[in-house]
C-alpha cells in the first residue's frame, strides 16, 4: 500500500512509471490503490466545487459561516468527485474500447483518478486565497473579483491543463499506444470536464 501512496505523489514527477504500474491486475495491487484513488477523488472534487460560481456566492445570504462552507465543500466535493470518477471513467473506457483497448473499466477509472492528482493538489491555493481575501471569496463582488482573483483563476486553469496532459500520458502508458491514439481516447472526457467547468 505504501508504494501506491508514493506513486500518487510521483505521478507529478514521473507519470509514465506510475501509469505503467496500473497495468497490474493482481488483487493485492488493485486493493492497495483503492485508498489513494479515494483520496484523490475526494480532494479533486472539493477543488472543483470550490472553483464554481456556487461557491463564490455561499455567504451572500448569511446562512453560511466558515464551518458550513467547509462542510459544504467536503460533501459537495465528495459527491461531485464520485460522480465524475464513475461518469468520466465510463466515458474514457468507452472511447478507449472504441480505439481497441482490452483494458477493464476499473483501470480506466484509476487512470483518470491518478491523472486528477494536479486538480487535488490545486487545493494548496486555498490557504493563500483565504489569507489574501478571507471570506470575500464566498461573497458576490468581493475584492477577489479583480486582477488578483484572475491570477488565481489562471493558476486553477493551469492545474486543470496539467491534469489533461497527465490523462493523455496515462492512456498512452497504460495501453502502449501512440500519442495520436492516446489523445483521441482522452479527448472526450477532457471536453466533458471542460464544459462542466465552464458551466
pLDDT in tens, 111-141: 999 999 999 999 999 999 898 888 888 888 7
* Residues 144 and 151 sit within 8 Å (Cβ to Cβ): no
Distance CA 102, CA 7 (A): 24
According to the model, what pLDDT value does residue 9 have? 95
Residues 73-105: tens digit of each pLDDT: 999 999 999 999 999 999 999 999 999 999 999
Q: Report the distance separating Cα 31 and Cα 106, nearest Å.
A: 11
Task: Read off the pLDDT of each residue in 163-167 and give the average, rounded to a whole number.
Answer: 97
Separation CA 146–CA 167 (nearest Å): 32
Identify the pLDDT of residue 85. 97
Report how far residue 81's alpha carbon sits from residue 41's, in angstroms, rounded to the nearest whole number.
5
Question: What's the rounded Cα separation, in Å, for the pair 40 and 187?
Answer: 21
pTM for the model stands at 0.92
**Mean pLDDT of all residues belonging to the chain:** 92
d(CA 117, CA 90): 19
Burial status of residue 154 (CB atoms within 10 A of its CB: 0-12, 13-18, 19 or more): exposed
For residues 158 and 182, give the distance between their C-alpha atoms in angstroms, rounded to a whole number: 21
Give the separation between CA 17 and CA 101, rounded to whole angstroms: 19
**pLDDT tens digits, one per residue of 21-51:** 999 989 999 999 999 999 999 999 999 999 8
| CA–CA–CA angle 118, 14, 85 (5° rounding) | 40
Dump the DSSP string for 28-94.
HHHHHHHHHHHHHHHHHHHHHHHTSTTGGGTTTTS---HHHHHHHHHHHHHHHHHHHHHHHHHHHHH
C-alpha cell at 5: 501512496
**pLDDT higher than threshold 60 for residue 147:** no
Instruction: State how far the Cα of 124 lies from the Cα of 47, in Å rounded to an integer.
Output: 9
Amino acid at each position: 500500500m505504501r508504494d501506491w501512496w508514493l506513486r500518487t505523489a510521483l505521478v507529478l514527477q514521473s507519470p509514465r512509471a506510475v501509469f505503467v504500474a496500473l497495468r497490474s491486475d493482481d488483487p493485492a495491487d488493485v486493493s492497495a490503490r483503492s485508498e489513494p484513488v479515494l483520496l484523490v477523488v475526494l480532494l479533486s472534487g472539493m477543488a472543483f466545487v470550490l472553483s464554481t460560481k456556487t461557491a463564490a456566492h455561499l455567504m451572500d445570504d448569511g446562512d453560511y459561516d466558515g464551518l458550513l462552507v467547509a462542510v459544504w465543500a467536503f460533501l459537495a466535493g465528495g459527491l461531485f468527485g464520485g460522480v465524475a470518477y464513475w461518469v468520466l471513467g465510463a466515458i474514457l473506457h468507452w472511447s478507449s474500447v472504441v480505439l481497441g483497448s482490452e483494458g477493464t473499466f476499473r483501470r480506466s477509472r484509476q487512470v483518470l483518478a491518478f491523472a486528477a492528482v494536479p486538480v487535488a493538489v490545486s487545493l494548496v491555493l486555498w490557504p493563500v486565497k483565504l489569507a489574501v481575501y478571507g471570506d470575500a471569496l464566498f461573497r458576490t463582488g468581493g475584492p477577489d473579483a479583480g486582477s488578483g482573483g484572475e491570477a488565481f483563476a489562471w493558476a486553477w486553469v493551469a492545474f486543470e491543463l496539467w491534469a489533461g496532459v497527465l490523462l493523455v500520458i496515462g492512456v498512452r502508458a497504460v495501453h502502449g499506444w501512440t500519442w495520436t491514439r492516446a489523445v483521441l481516447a482522452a479527448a472526450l472526457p477532457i471536453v466533458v470536464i471542460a464544459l462542466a467547468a465552464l458551466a
